[in-house]
Structure 1
Amino acid sequence: MSYAYPVSKPWLGDREQQLVGEAIASGWISSQGPEIKRFEAAFAEYNGVAHGVACSSGTAALTVALAALGVGPGDEVIVPEFTMIASAWAVNYVGATPVFVDCGDDLNLDVTKIEARITSRTAVIMPVHVYGRRCDMDAIMELAYDYNLRVVEDSAESHGVRPVGDVACFSLFANKIITAGEGGICITNEPRLAEQMAHLRAMAFTKDHSFLHKKIAYNFRMTNLQAALASAQLERIDEILSRRRAIEKYYDAALAGIPGVTLMPPRDVLWMYDVRVERRAQLQAHLAENGVETRLFFKPMSRQPMYFDAGWPELKAAAFSEDGLYLPTYPELTEADQEIIVGHIRSFYRP
């Protein structure tokens, strides 16, 4: 179905065409080429860390980070109940076990519930900055220090939020704040860890690049074409974030006071504009009929079929998943567009 107002779309321009065109003209279109190293260095610098390791997706970045940290069978990783399932799957991909912790009112990992889930097998805490809201990283880093744990930040939705963990992993999917179409990147201050992540994402070739592989690794490499697109997007990230901030400000003011709509806590950066609504299915159908695409909130990890054996606890995450949705959020969305979208919401709830 085609929508006048899709939930998301990338903001691409002349600079993106220029750099991708230059990459094509150079002949470097696969996982070798100058744009990859340029993007890795620039993205790391933007985030105030030393090293970047570009990957084929955000999920690949999480998987490589966990593998490079030595996480594997017998280990446990603390993962939020409220997140995209890729967070949990990356743990499974390395043979470890995800252990789920419920969310707080901001949808992020409830730090007061983490300690009770730590065991002798816990190796990593994986906070996710949901929809662009920064987790309470001071409390998480203190717990990690107390229990000698590593911290891998799932920053897929939070470009612009400065990381503090051992590794932060970003997605560059088409709906993210900046995009490479597909792709991801790990960033860290630890040179040995960066070297190991780069080694594992590229099939663990020996240094002479002979076809000898001493360990099982991955083909999770980013292409030079993707890196060119990502580099152009990174050059514009401040403009993109500023435009998104204006979109959030408009929605906050326009939706306030509409019966049936509950605003969510402020975001550190805006990925998707999320709200809680009454009669969600009917509202979503009404908006779709008027050309407005929406998406539902994540479902809790413990409600996913492959994790049913984790139990069926009472969860705050479950309550959010039943009435939450997010609205069109992309830089080219104008105030006039938002006025139309909000008008349709207002007309639905009009007495």
Structure 2
Amino acid sequence: MAIHYPVSQPWLEGRELEYVTRTVGDGWLSSQGPFVKRFEQAFADYNGIAHGVACSSGTTALTLALRALGIGPGDEVIVPEFTMIASAWAVTYTGATPVFVDCGDDLDIDVSKIEAKITPRTKVIMPVHIYGRRCDMDAIMKLAYEYNLRVVEDSAEAHGVRPVGDIACFSLFGNKIITSGEGGICLTRDPHLAGQLAHLRGMAFDSGHTFLHKKLGYNFRMTSMQAAVALAQTEQLDEILALRRDIEKRYDEGLAGISGITLMPARDVLWMYDLRAERRDELRAFLAAAGIETRLFFKPMSRQPGYLDPGWPALNASTFSEDGLYLPTYTGLTEADQTFITGKVREFYQGIQE
């Protein structure tokens, strides 16, 4: 059956078309167009942070952040077991080694297990705000202070969660809370780090000579057209977050009391509505037949071929990965849509219990 309820779709109800049309009309398509700086400033101001540096994706934002902090071969970065693999890849791209820490019951990194993984080679802690749940940043910042570590927040799934680390990295991929199709942005309070992020993003051109490059840089720039969409999205962020809070509440109410479903802890902002389900794969097939798309939880990092742990430790992340999924979660989802979706979930479990 065709998908009628996708996992995600963008909310384009603001000035996106107006801004893109203006960009095309002005001929400013590249990263030199004025919308890049306008978006950087608007998103930084929204978060109460001095500096924003836009780039081509959330993954490149993380890579730039680590490079700006001087991370490279021989260094270690604390990364959650339960995350999108881009978090680990960004570390690997720098030549450093990701060191994985299991999750707690809320899927965020278990702060109580971080200290045991810190070694003299550890330079950064990278908390990831999973599905919009803010990590215990007070405890993480305390650990970072005690061990003289830097903190890079992977905020790809958490627009609206205010950053406190050295650098926060956001994704603007098409399924995120706000989007520019592809894109990302780094936020920092440190003007030196902001300068390094911008320098590395733009191929590390030397100020004294157009084609002199004294260090390895990247072409990780955001185009003016992407920034035009991102600016229009940022202008709507409060409205988007409020609409998504209503979506979370309706799912909580519609799924309450269903035997076979375990609801997850509340989210600080709603990226995806996640839950745990008995006979998950059968449920997914049943929902797909009704035109409802779902997604599996992340696969733990130490179960990924590139990071496979031969010890195969017992992990909370593995347990959650085996029975977790998330439902369609997009800003335009209506009450009627959710009534249909939750009704189908209820119908599945009633059918197998009869």
Settle same-fold status: TM greater than 0.5: yes
**C-alpha distance in 2, partners of 1:308/1:331?**
36
Is 1:216 aligned with 2:216? yes
The alignment yields a C-alpha RMSD, in angstroms, of: 0.9
Structure 1 residue 2 displacement after superposition: 3.9
Structure 1 residue 310 displacement after superposition: 6.1
| Residue 336 (structure 2) aligns with | 336
Identical counterparts, % of pairs: 73
Q: Is the 8 A contact 1:302 1:311 kept in 2?
A: no
| Residue 295 (structure 1) aligns with | 295
Normalised TM-score (structure 2): 0.98
**C-alpha distance in 2, partners of 1:135/1:309?**
25
Report the 3-state secondary structure (helix = DSSP H, G, I; strand = E; otherwise coil) of the residue aligned with 2:251: helix
The residue type paired with residue 199 of structure 1 is H
The residue type paired with residue 20 of structure 1 is V
Q: Is the 8 A contact 2:14 2:233 kept in 1?
A: no
Report the 3-state secondary structure (helix = DSSP H, G, I; strand = E; otherwise coil) of the residue aligned with 2:15: helix
Structure 1 residue 38 displacement after superposition: 0.5
Q: Is the 8 A contact 1:78 1:100 kept in 2?
A: yes
| Residue 136 (structure 1) aligns with | 136
> Superposition pairs for residues 196-235 of structure 1, below 5 Å?
196-208=196-208, 210-235=210-235
The residue type paired with residue 138 of structure 1 is D
- The superposition leaves residues 230-264 of structure 1 with CA deviations (integer Å, 9 ceiling, x where unpaired) of 00000000110001000000000110100110000
Structure 1 residue 20 displacement after superposition: 0.8
**C-alpha distance in 2, partners of 1:235/1:267?**
22
**C-alpha distance in 1, partners of 2:157/2:207?**
34
Number of positions where the alignment pairs a residue of Structure 1 with one of Structure 2: 351
The residue type paired with residue 21 of structure 2 is G
Runs of 4+ in 1 over 6 A off after TM superposition: none
| Residue 249 (structure 2) aligns with | 249
Is 1:259 aligned with 2:259? yes
**C-alpha distance in 1, partners of 2:308/2:16?**
44
Cα distance change, pair 209–36 in 1 and its aligned pair in 2 (3 A): farther
Structure 1 residue 31 displacement after superposition: 1.2
Q: Is the 8 A contact 1:81 1:101 kept in 2?
A: yes
**C-alpha distance in 2, partners of 1:311/1:92?**
21
Is 1:322 aligned with 2:317? no
**C-alpha distance in 1, partners of 2:251/2:13?**
25
> Any unmatched runs of 5+ in structure 1?
none
Structure 1 residue 341 displacement after superposition: 0.4
| Residue 26 (structure 1) aligns with | 26
Structure 1 residue 283 displacement after superposition: 0.3
**C-alpha distance in 1, partners of 2:49/2:311?**
39
- The superposition leaves residues 158-181 of structure 1 with CA deviations (integer Å, 9 ceiling, x where unpaired) of 000001000000000000000010
**C-alpha distance in 1, partners of 2:74/2:15?**
47
**C-alpha distance in 2, partners of 1:308/1:265?**
29
Structure 1 residue 209 displacement after superposition: 5.3
Report the 3-state secondary structure (helix = DSSP H, G, I; strand = E; otherwise coil) of the residue aligned with 1:9: coil
Q: Is the 8 A contact 2:153 2:163 kept in 1?
A: yes
Structure 1 residue 311 displacement after superposition: 3.4
| Residue 53 (structure 2) aligns with | 53
| Residue 70 (structure 2) aligns with | 70
The residue type paired with residue 248 of structure 1 is E
Q: Is the 8 A contact 2:172 2:179 kept in 1?
A: yes
| Residue 306 (structure 2) aligns with | 306
Is 1:80 aligned with 2:80? yes
**C-alpha distance in 1, partners of 2:165/2:322?**
31
Normalised TM-score (structure 1): 0.99
| Residue 148 (structure 1) aligns with | 148
Cα distance change, pair 5–209 in 1 and its aligned pair in 2 (3 A): farther
| Residue 164 (structure 1) aligns with | 164
Structure 1 residue 13 displacement after superposition: 2.7
**C-alpha distance in 1, partners of 2:280/2:30?**
44
**C-alpha distance in 1, partners of 2:224/2:176?**
19
The residue type paired with residue 159 of structure 1 is H
| Residue 279 (structure 1) aligns with | 279
The residue type paired with residue 240 of structure 1 is I
